[in-house]
Amino acid sequence: METQQSNAMKEDSKTKEEDAAVDAELAKAIMARCFHPSVIGPEAWEGYVFSDLEIRIKESTDLYGAVLWPSAMVLCHFLETHRDKHNLMDKNVIELGAGTGLVSIVSSLLGAKMTSTDLPDVLGNLQYNVVRNTKGRCKYIPLVTELIWGPEVEQRFPRATHSFDYIMAADVVYSHPYLEELMDTFDHLCQENTQILWAMRFRLDRENSFVDRFRQRFDMEEIYNLPSLSIKLYRAWRKDKRTKDQRKAAA
């Protein structure tokens, strides 16, 4: 018995070491996408390389939503390295809380018909970054538009005329008073064939509780778990109501 327990502990320790090594390697590859300008010019920017192209992102330290967080880089890395399973070419894609626009830019470079959304106060910087990095580079001109989560989403994107293949979200869950509105926005935009790709950094217990409530409305799987960055990447889709009804009837 003691030998079996000892072997189990060794296997568990080995698995943890392997997971840590994978985490470190993946995190290193993701963060290597970022570079800094060799010469400081009149405009401050951060550089990123995706789709073999240089992307220059202007941040605004005055606005929380106009700063690029690592979750966006995690999602962009996934999009580029998993084009076989998640090909964005000619797909209708919307990003919630686009911030500085990196995810929207990379999605556009990968061929998506992109709708990039955020609050009015960050829209100017978002528009600047998206236009600067996609003009003449993309099959489709991305749309940058205002979106306030909650009731407005039904007016701006009625289901009868708007259908999205993918919903992108990076670091949209944090300590603010609009998490219920965010949940309702996911719920409205996610139709039968929509996939959600959502990267988030865990900072507070409130984020864990949001994930628990999210699971009640959507089926989801964990794609990346990067403890070194405190970031997880999820794929989610609408629960099949017919299957649920069949299970209830069988019970």
C-alpha count within 13 angstroms, C-beta hemisphere, residue 53: 20
Report how many domains make up the chain. Answer: 1
Residue 50, domain member (yes or no):
no
Residue 221, domain member (yes or no):
yes
CATH number at residue 180: 3.40.50.150
What's the CA angle centered on 113, arms 120 and 174, to 5 degrees?
Answer: 40
Token digits of residue 176: 């603010």
Residue 207, domain member (yes or no):
yes
The H-or-E segment that residue 168 falls in is: strand 166-170
Using alpha carbons, select from 77, 124, 137 the residue that is nearest to residue 102.
77
Using alpha carbons, select from 88, 3, 76, 99 the residue that is nearest to residue 233.
76
Residue 54, domain member (yes or no):
no
Indicate the residue type of 74. V
In sequence order, the β-bridge partners of residue 225 are: 232
Pairing of strands 218-226, 143-146: unpaired
Give the global pTM.
Answer: 0.87
Residue 52, domain member (yes or no):
no
Residue 26, domain member (yes or no):
no
pLDDT tens over the chain, length 251 residues? 566 665 555 555 556 777 788 889 999 999 999 998 877 767 788 999 999 999 999 987 655 556 788 999 999 999 999 999 999 999 999 999 999 999 999 999 999 999 999 999 999 999 999 999 999 999 999 999 999 999 889 999 999 999 999 999 999 987 567 899 999 999 999 999 999 999 998 876 667 788 999 999 999 999 999 999 999 999 999 997 544 444 445 44
Token digits of residue 170: 């990076």
Residue 120, domain member (yes or no):
yes
Residue 24, domain member (yes or no):
no
Alpha-carbon span 88 to 93, nearest angstrom: 8
Q: Which domain holds residue 209?
A: 61-249
